[in-house]
């Protein structure tokens, strides 16, 4: 079952940056509290949770996880309790998404980076514990990134295809972390028989082969047997996930001052910089803005250096 939770269709807007033509798919405008790309995935994931008559949702992420914040908000709207396992990370800990999750009353459990390596097992164990007490539990993986959630970004491509002639664009750029958004976009492109390149700017240090294997697994589950066209761009992840470089922070300021579009420090600033540094001078591309504005407030100290 698919729910209708996002404000759709989101706008597709034309901008010129440094003489380059960039059309931005404004998925930062899918909602307010649940804004960003995660809500499209959650339309399917929480739909399945309701079908199963779940009363508790468990998920995970970094301390400033957009996915955790969106899941918390939407699950509560649908009458379900929420448990969030969040990976310990100190800068800006009490602000942004983390603050919103506290305000919305999620049960939050902090895990260390080492513990987070086994997060799927940790969530599964907690689900079994709650189910032994009579609860109905639905577990959502990191980022909502499985084939069920990825259907949301197949839908986004179908939506884009109604907004513009996608054959006029050479590429679609998107930030890539847990890989579900990228896999959904690539699946949608393939199902429509489009030639447009799908370029994922990786924002963490996980090995490329690990990310590629996850994309292939999701594509297969979505009914795609042709794994060609996976195009991941490396070199823009910086120190690691959630650690923006000075160039990323400057990109946030540049894009905001040129267009009024606000990027975030974890995903879209890195992806936008990757796009600007790799796209050809005469290319016409689409940038999928996956949201994340609340995480910006966790980086105030770092941002002060470029303001």
The catalytic residues are: 65
Asked if residue 39 lies in contact with residue 47, where contact means CB atoms within 8 angstroms, the answer is: no
Q: What are phi and psi of 81, to 5 degrees?
A: -75, 160
Give the C-alpha separation, 25 to 63, whole Å: 26
Residues in the chain: 307
Give the C-alpha separation, 25 to 30, whole Å: 11
Give the C-alpha separation, 285 to 233, whole Å: 15
Three-class SS of 104-156: CCCEEEEECHHHHCCHHHHHHHHHHHHHCCCCCEEECCHHHCCHHHHHHHHHH
Give the C-alpha separation, 297 to 100, whole Å: 12
Give the strand order in the sheet containing 81-87.
Answer: 107-111, 81-87, 56-62, 137-139
Asked if residue 283 lies in contact with residue 196, where contact means CB atoms within 8 angstroms, the answer is: no
Asked if residue 201 lies in contact with residue 173, where contact means CB atoms within 8 angstroms, the answer is: yes
Asked if residue 243 lies in contact with residue 113, where contact means CB atoms within 8 angstroms, the answer is: no
């Amino acid at each position: 079952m698919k729910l209708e939770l996002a404000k759709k269709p989101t706008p597709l807007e034309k901008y010129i940056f440094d003489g380059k033509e960039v059309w931005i798919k404004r998925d930062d405008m899918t909602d307010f509290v649940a804004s960003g790309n995660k809500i499209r995935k959650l339309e399917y994931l929480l739909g399945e949770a309701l079908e199963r008559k779940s009363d508790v949702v468990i998920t995970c992420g970094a301390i400033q996880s957009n996915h955790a914040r969106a899941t918390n908000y939407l699950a509560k709207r649908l009458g379900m309790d929420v448990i969030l396992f969040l990976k310990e990370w100190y800068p800006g800990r009490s602000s942004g998404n983390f603050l919103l999750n506290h305000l919305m009353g999620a049960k939050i459990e902090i895990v260390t980076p080492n513990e987070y390596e086994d997060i799927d097992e940790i969530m599964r164990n907690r689900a079994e514990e709650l189910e032994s007490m009579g609860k109905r539990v639905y577990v959502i993986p990191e980022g909502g990134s499985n084939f069920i959630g990825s259907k949301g970004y197949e839908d986004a491509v179908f939506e884009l295809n109604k907004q513009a002639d996608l054959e006029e664009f050479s590429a679609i750029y998107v930030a890539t972390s847990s890989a579900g958004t990228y896999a959904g976009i690539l699946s949608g492109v393939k199902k429509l028989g489009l030639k447009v390149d799908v370029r994922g700017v990786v924002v963490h240090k996980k090995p490329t082969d690990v990310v590629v294997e996850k994309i292939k697994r999701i594509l297969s589950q979505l009914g795609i047997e042709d794994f060609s066209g996976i195009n991941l761009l490396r070199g823009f992840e910086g120190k690691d996930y959630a650690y923006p470089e000075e160039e990323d922070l400057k990109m946030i300021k540049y894009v905001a001052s040129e267009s009024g579009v606000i990027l975030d420090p974890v995903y879209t600033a890195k992806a936008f910089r990757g796009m600007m540094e790799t796209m050809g001078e005469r290319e016409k591309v689409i940038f999928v803005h996956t949201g994340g504005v609340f995480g910006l407030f966790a980086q105030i100290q770092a941002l002060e250096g470029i303001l």
